[in-house]
Chains A and B, each alone.
Chain A
Amino acid sequence: MAEAVMIVGATSAIARATAAAFAALGHDIYLAGRNADELTRIAADLAIRYQVRAHWGIFVAEDLTSHAAFFNQAMAEMGEMRGVVLAMGMLGDQQAARDFPLGAEVIMVNFTAAASILSHSANYLEARKQGFIIGISSVAGDRGRQSNYPYGAAKAGLSAYLQGLRNRLSHSNVRVITVKPGFVDTAMTYGMAGLFLVASPQYMGERIVRAVNKSADVVYLPWFWRYIMLIIKTIPEAIFKKLKL
């Protein structure tokens, strides 16, 4: 079996598809999440479909002091780890998240907790001098908008954090890939108005796995979101601030 891949935030549709795509290549899988029932089900399914080892552990994002022990426990179970996929994210009610302390939770999960588990992953992979980190950020982090800026700000922070890690780890032969999904057909977006060019979780999973062996550092999925965001980023702030986005 190929070395294990850890998926943090493993119960979302994108995470499940990504785990499946890695397992299809023969990688053992370690699932980190907070819903024991779902983790059990997803792990059993991966083990049956792909005949890999699939383990899971309860990961409490907000409890930063638990992250080191969590990471070590996963290592102890799986042996060596090839890479880490950070798929954790929380959109929440963005209207409510304008106000604190509720907004702090969104920033905590999407940025602080993410950075924390990435720091442990980075130290481990840096010492091994191989492997990869894939961080699933968001196009929402490319420009702050009134409809979701607490989430967008946290994801912008995550993108910058991944950028810094990439700079640091490039000297240790560790790939750091930032993935920026556009609209994906998941429970988070189901039935939402105004979606267009929606990608399937399976497409996302396959493309995320494929990115490991490609050279791009920042991957927009589907690819055309790079150009949509290029246009959005180019609009002068004087005009942008008046738009209803």
Chain B
Amino acid sequence: MNKLNQPLSGWGRYPVQTCATSRPERYQDLQASSTTQIARGQGRSYGDAALGETVILTERVNRMLAFDSTAGTLRAEAGVTLAEVLEVIVPQGWFLPVTPGTRFVSLGGCVAADVHGKNHHHDGAFSQHIIALELILADGAKVACSATENAALFWATVGGMGLTGIIGEVSLRLIPITSPYMQVRHYAAANLTGVFALFDNAALDDAYSVAWIDSLATGKSLGRSVLMTGHHADAADLPSVMRPAAKSTLSMPFDLPAFVLNPWTVKAFNQFYYSREGHKTQPFFAHYSDYFYPLDGIAHWNRLYGKSGFVQYQCVIPTAGAFAAVTALLEKLAASRRPSFLAVLKKLGAQNQGLLSFPLAGYTLALDIPMRDAGVLALTRELDAIVLAHGGRVYLAKDALLTAQTFRIMYPRHAEWLRIKQAVDPDGRFASSMSQRLDLGVQHG
């Protein structure tokens, strides 16, 4: 297959690497070659998960194969994006069982990262809604796997960052909805104690919940947040005239100069956002695209952080140590005076059997950190130490900087994963820059 050399990066635009790319159009051409390779869907993982010697672009292997609008199931090639799926299923009364914060991701990416959404505390991660996968192995075999069939391979593949094979097809269970709208409610919290209390208040719980957090607030206001809860609105409850979804016509046409996002401007924005969003104490309706995908409305929003890109630091801390850890992480970030434009806190539910799946019962914090100088690496090492000290882990879909040593402590089931990797890919055909950095390859000799 023809190859094209081109510079690629993840969504964080750090690191950038020149890769040999192939772009199959037929399902039968979705195959491993004799080089080392990694499949790449929409390039929405943030770091180096979809970079490597050879990168197989799956964007054109994106056919929907079967949609049962009575039972609510969908089978599609893994290159299909969630946006394409939603366009088909929402008008017919169905929704994705789990969705990350952007719909411009491929189904394959959702499987490889075992993504979670704002409903993780109730419904778990993406893998828990998969009926079956078709995985294309290094030797060309196409293998069906699910929680009941080839289960070991299935639990190594979900969250396995594309390293067990090429995810070819995905069958998914959908959830029924009666309208494309969400019923949403916001609760302001003056500080971290406040937002943890809100998350723990069963009376306020809803199908979906997430908190926006002001990463620059300090002292008594540390962790100042707005908790946003919601559920799919019942068509019967909607007013007769609904506002349509906000039009997604905004775009960042150029790299924002680094000085625009500084501690003062971000602080001013956060103040404005906190008081505006925090005052929406009455329930209101929002279109699903505005609720789930606020940033999808701005094409190329990753240019916000300038040419040098950014890293997204997302970790999860088990419940017991979560408050102490999040306090320490926010203090460390605030002290570094690096403005994180986007910081999000969310309570997660129980972990699943995915050997490298990220979510576990506790709290997850996600922070954007502009990649402006070498100090970022030192900062993330300090953040890693806090996460480790409280038994937490970093999300591989966002990661560009973890060391292999830290990774092994954070993901205690990595040895089990490596045994399966060894069995299905003995020659190490599937490898990415991330797998090399984290030593997630086949052990030779």
| Of the residues B1, B23, B88, contact of A48 by C-beta under 8 Å | B88
Q: How many residues of A contact B (CB 8 A)?
A: 17
B245 at the interface (CB under 8 A from A): no
| Of the residues B4, B77, B87, contact of A41 by C-beta under 8 Å | B77
Residues of chain B within 8 A of A37, CB atoms compared: 26-28
Contact assessment for A187 and B27 in the assembled complex, using a CB-CB cutoff below 8 Å = no
Determine the residue in chain A with the shortest Cβ distance to B5. A191
Contact assessment for A187 and B2 in the assembled complex, using a CB-CB cutoff below 8 Å = yes
Residues of chain A within 8 A of B22, CB atoms compared: 190-191
* CB of A223 to closest CB in B, whole Å: 25
Contact assessment for B66 and A44 in the assembled complex, using a CB-CB cutoff below 8 Å = yes
Interface readout for A7-29 with B: 1 if CB under 8 Å, 0 if not?
00001110000000000000000
A192 at the interface (CB under 8 A from B): yes
Q: How many residues of B contact A (CB 8 A)?
A: 22
Q: How far is the CA of A11 from the CA of B28 in the complex (A)?
A: 12
Determine the residue in chain B with the shortest Cβ distance to A192. B2
Q: How far is the CA of A32 from the CA of B66 in the complex (A)?
A: 21
Determine the residue in chain B with the shortest Cβ distance to A185. B23
Contact assessment for B2 and A41 in the assembled complex, using a CB-CB cutoff below 8 Å = no
Contact assessment for B25 and A44 in the assembled complex, using a CB-CB cutoff below 8 Å = no
Q: How far is the CA of A13 from the CA of B66 in the complex (A)?
A: 21
Interface readout for A148-190 with B: 1 if CB under 8 Å, 0 if not?
0000000000000000000000000000000000000011001
Known A-B contacts A38-B26, A49-B88; the reply to A44 vs B3 at CB < 8 A is: no
Contact assessment for A187 and B23 in the assembled complex, using a CB-CB cutoff below 8 Å = yes
Q: How far is the CA of A13 from the CA of B59 in the complex (A)?
A: 12
B408 at the interface (CB under 8 A from A): no
Q: How far is the CA of A187 from the CA of B29 in the complex (A)?
A: 11
Contact assessment for A13 and B60 in the assembled complex, using a CB-CB cutoff below 8 Å = yes
* CB of B111 to closest CB in A, whole Å: 19
Q: How far is the CA of A48 from the CA of B67 in the complex (A)?
A: 7
Within 8 A of A (CB), among B14-61: 22-29, 60
Interface readout for A105-116 with B: 1 if CB under 8 Å, 0 if not?
000000000000
Residues of chain A within 8 A of B64, CB atoms compared: 44-45, 48-49
Q: How far is the CA of A186 from the CA of B2 in the complex (A)?
A: 11
Known A-B contacts A41-B77, A45-B64; the reply to A186 vs B25 at CB < 8 A is: yes
Residues of chain B within 8 A of A44, CB atoms compared: 63-66
Residues of chain A within 8 A of B2, CB atoms compared: 187, 190-192
* CB of A17 to closest CB in B, whole Å: 11
| Of the residues A13, A35, A45, A187, contact of B63 by C-beta under 8 Å | A45
Interface readout for A26-59 with B: 1 if CB under 8 Å, 0 if not?
0000000001011001101100110000000000
Within 8 A of A (CB), among B229-265: none
Residues of chain A within 8 A of B3, CB atoms compared: 191
* CB of A204 to closest CB in B, whole Å: 14
Contact assessment for A187 and B24 in the assembled complex, using a CB-CB cutoff below 8 Å = yes
| Of the residues B25, B28, B66, B87, contact of A187 by C-beta under 8 Å | B25
| Of the residues B4, B23, B27, B66, contact of A38 by C-beta under 8 Å | B27
Contact assessment for B63 and A191 in the assembled complex, using a CB-CB cutoff below 8 Å = no
Q: How far is the CA of A192 from the CA of B26 in the complex (A)?
A: 19
* CB of A21 to closest CB in B, whole Å: 16
Residues of chain A within 8 A of B24, CB atoms compared: 187
Q: How far is the CA of A99 from the CA of B15 in the complex (A)?
A: 48
Contact assessment for A191 and B88 in the assembled complex, using a CB-CB cutoff below 8 Å = no
Known A-B contacts A41-B77, A48-B88, A49-B88; the reply to A190 vs B65 at CB < 8 A is: no
A-side residues, CB < 8 A to B, are 11-13, 35, 37-38, 41-42, 44-45, 48-49, 186-187, 190-192
Closest 3 CB pairs of A and B: A45-B63, A191-B4, A191-B2
Q: Can you offer 21 A-B residue contacts whose CB atoms are under 8 A?
A: A11-B26, A35-B26, A37-B28, A38-B27, A41-B63, A42-B63, A44-B63, A44-B64, A48-B67, A48-B88, A49-B64, A187-B1, A187-B25, A187-B26, A187-B29, A190-B4, A190-B23, A191-B3, A191-B4, A191-B22, A192-B2
